[in-house]
Amino acid sequence: MAVAVQDTSADQIIELDRQTDALVEQGYPALAGVTEKEFRALVEPLEHVVPAEPFVLVVSGDLVPLDRLIERTALNGKPGFTSMQADDVRAFRPTADLDLPDSPVYLVADVDTGRETLNVRPDDALPHIHETGRTPLTLDEGLAVAAQHPQWLRERNCFEMLGSRAGDKRVTGIWVSKGAPRLGWCWGGNPHTWLGMATAARRVA
C-alpha cells in the first residue's frame, strides 16, 4: 500500500539522493530510455513520502528491462550475472495479491533478507510472511536491493523473491557465485540453508 509519511528528515533525503546517484552511475537512465535529468525527475516526488525506517529505491520492470539489471550490480568489483534467458527473467511477474504502487519508481521500507526463513521451503514460508503483516519482495525489488546493497549477500544472507512468479513452481533468487551476485531460480518446494525469503514492511510512492 502506498503510504505518505510526514516530516521527512534531511538524512532521509540525503539517502534517497545517494541511492539515485548510485542508479545513475549504474546506467539506469539509459536502460530506461530517458536522460539523467528525466530519471531524476521521476524520483524527485519521493522526497515527500520517504519513510522513517530504512528504505530501498525500486525501479519497476515496466521502466527498465529486468534481465539487464543483475549485470549492473557488483560485489567487491565483480559484476553480477545470470544464466537465465532474457525472456525467462521477464516471465516472472508480481503476483496478483500484491498491492503495488502505480508508479515506475517507488520505495520499499524496512527490507529484511529473511534470515529466519533459511532452510525453509519457500512455499511454506509465504503464509507465515503474510500472517506477520509483511510482504514478499518482487523480482524488481530484489534486484533493487542487490543494486544498492550487494554487500548484504555476504553480511546478511542471500535471498529469494516470492513476490514474483512465472506461473510455475520456480522462485527467483539472488546469491553469490564465483564471488559475484547471481540471479537464478530454485524450486518453491525446496529449502536451502543459504537462501532466505526477502520481505518488506510496505511499499511507498
Residue pLDDT, tens place only, 134-145:
999 999 999 999
- Per residue in 28-50, pLDDT (tens digit) is 999 999 999 999 999 999 999 99
Average pLDDT value over all residues in the chain: 95
The CA-atom distances, in angstroms, between 174 and each of 48, 59, 180, 184, 188 are: 31, 17, 10, 6, 14
Q: Cβ of 168: how many Cβ atoms within 10 Å?
A: 11
- Per residue in 63-90, pLDDT (tens digit) is 999 999 999 999 999 999 999 999 999 9
In the chain, where the domains are located: 10-204
Question: What is the structure's pLDDT at 16?
Answer: 98
3-state secondary structure 39-86: HHHHHHHHHHCCCCCCEEEEECCCCCCHHHCHHHCEECCEECEECCCH
Residues in the chain: 205
Question: What is the structure's pLDDT at 6?
Answer: 43
Q: Are strands 81-82 and 180-187 parallel, antiparallel or unpaired?
A: parallel
- Per residue in 59-68, pLDDT (tens digit) is 999 999 999 9
Tell me: pLDDT of 189 over 80.
Answer: yes
Question: What is the structure's pLDDT at 8?
Answer: 60
Give the residue-averaged pLDDT of 171-180. 98
